[in-house]
């Protein structure tokens, strides 16, 4: 669904750019020019989104547009430095605040260089006044102070409202979002950017994808964040407006998926930038040298250099024996205990499920479904209430790990219909031969 929505956004952006570049704008002509692309956009968005909507309703994830906008973390947490395989071991500690979307060095460098090439010497009048400068300076100073006081902010929130769960991601978002908005506004209003913009107007495709990346960044600063059963509002006026007005954007379950537009925009501008820069070089020798430099940087970025960064390989002797056994066992859903209070804590179980290749009930996901939350509240799996929950979810294999240095007291030979089938140093494996899903009826 996300790819269809993003493609729709790019088409609409292209229409908007063409419209704003016309000196003799007329609404009738605009309607005729924009009508077919908008119809195409609607069809593509519908084709991608309707199956997603039907699937969401079948699984019970019924949310209104307002609820969808409150679901998922803003992309300010995905703001990151460029990354590459070659420099990975040196720059891993400088990675993004949260998330996994990082552009490469080469697209960023080529895009910046192309902006300098197309830049015009003349400039339209700057609108950056002294009041905005004072605001920017104040926000920057406030951000620096707040960043050093991050732990105190979380502690203060807990003291004000004891049931408030302040995720570190929330604190980071609240601190960074105003700063990034002001810095972006500052950049757009400088004389330098205005000279760049005049040059971009003659390069329509480059213009389109550059602003696609910038749009993704601006929307990334909001609109709202919802974390673990508590709604924490973080408003970005631009992001909120686009979220409710832009066709297709409100159907995105998690606004964080906008992050893929940042490397998409920079990836396309990198190719266009390469052609622009190469054409601007008059001497054929310089063109060859430039091509060689770009090719070299590209190889360095994508090649996993030895002893610096290389693909992860799971060593056979590092795989716990219980997962090797599960790999050979018959197919069936697996539940691992203890279940983390935070669904993010189950990531290690998801990684190990790649070994045994069986369905994992308490795995990591983009959202916390109610069933998993209830399972995390079970501390004694020998109780009748806990066993009924395991039967309902059709658990065939129950893996009980050591907790606090030893196995829990309730981990006996038999737990209801579960009987102990294998004992390992760090885990007990139980089997329910009659496992099948047995959810209660809706009525």
The pLDDT value given to residue 428: 92
The pLDDT value given to residue 173: 63
pTM of the model: 0.48
pLDDT averaged over consecutive 10-residue blocks of the chain (443 residues)? 51 57 59 61 56 46 42 43 53 43 74 78 55 73 77 68 54 69 74 75 70 65 47 51 56 56 71 84 88 84 56 62 89 86 72 83 62 78 86 88 85 88 90 76 47
The pLDDT value given to residue 376: 79
Q: What CA–CA distance (Å, rounded) separates 113 from 123?
A: 19
The pLDDT value given to residue 154: 65
Question: Position of tokens 């970025």?
Answer: 301
Q: What CA–CA distance (Å, rounded) separates 428 from 406?
A: 11
The pLDDT value given to residue 197: 75
Question: Position of tokens 């993004």?
Answer: 96
Phi then psi for 121, rounded to 5 degrees? -75, -35
Q: Which sequence spans correspond to the domains of the chain?
A: 63-302, 316-431
The pLDDT value given to residue 240: 58
The pLDDT value given to residue 237: 54
CB 154 within 8 A of CB 166: yes
Within a 13 Å sphere around the CA of 139, how many CA atoms are in the beta-carbon half?
19
């Amino acid at each position: 669904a996300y790819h269809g929505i993003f493609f729709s956004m790019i088409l609409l952006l292209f229409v908007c750019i063409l419209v704003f570049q016309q000196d003799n704008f007329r609404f009738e002509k605009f309607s005729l020019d924009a009508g077919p692309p908008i119809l195409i956009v609607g069809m593509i968005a519908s084709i991608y989104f309707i199956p997603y909507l039907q699937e969401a309703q079948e699984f019970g994830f019924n949310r209104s547009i307002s609820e969808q906008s409150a679901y998922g973390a803003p992309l300010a947490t995905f703001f990151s430095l460029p990354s590459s395989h070659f420099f990975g071991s040196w720059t891993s500690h400088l990675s993004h605040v949260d998330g996994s979307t990082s552009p490469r060095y080469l697209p960023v460098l080529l895009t910046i260089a192309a902006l300098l090439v197309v830049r015009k010497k003349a400039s339209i009048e700057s609108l950056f006044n002294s009041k905005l400068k004072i605001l920017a300076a104040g926000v920057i100073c406030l951000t620096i102070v707040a960043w050093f006081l991050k732990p105190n902010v979380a502690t203060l929130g807990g003291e004000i409202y004891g049931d408030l769960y302040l995720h570190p991601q929330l604190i980071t978002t609240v601190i960074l979002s105003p700063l990034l908005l002001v810095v972006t506004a500052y950049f757009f209003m400088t004389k330098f950017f205005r000279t760049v913009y005049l040059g971009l107007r003659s390069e329509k495709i480059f213009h389109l994808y550059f602003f696609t990346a910038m749009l993704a960044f601006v929307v990334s600063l909001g609109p709202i964040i919802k974390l673990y059963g508590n709604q924490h509002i973080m408003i970005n006026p631009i992001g909120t407006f686009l979220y409710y007005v832009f066709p297709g954007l409100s159907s995105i379950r998690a606004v964080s998926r906008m992050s893929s537009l940042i490397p998409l925009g920079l990836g396309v501008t990198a190719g266009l930038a390469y052609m622009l820069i190469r054409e601007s070089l008059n001497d054929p020798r310089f063109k060859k040298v430039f091509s060689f430099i770009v090719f070299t940087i590209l190889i360095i970025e994508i090649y996993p250099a030895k002893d610096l960064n290389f693909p992860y390989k799971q060593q056979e002797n590092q795989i716990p024996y219980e997962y090797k056994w599960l790999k050979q066992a018959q197919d069936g859903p697996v539940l691992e205990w203890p279940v983390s209070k935070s669904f993010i804590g189950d990531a290690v179980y998801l990684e190990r499920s790649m070994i045994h290749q069986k369905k994992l009930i308490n795995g990591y996901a983009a959202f916390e479904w109610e069933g998993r939350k209830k399972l995390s509240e079970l501390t004694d799996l020998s109780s009748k209430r806990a066993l009924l929950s395991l039967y309902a979810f059709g658990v065939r294999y129950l893996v009980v790990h050591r907790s606090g240095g030893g196995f829990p007291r309730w981990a006996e030979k038999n737990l209801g219909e579960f009987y102990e089938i294998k004992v390992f140093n760090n885990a007990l494996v139980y089997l329910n031969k009659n496992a099948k899903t047995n959810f209660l009826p809706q009525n």
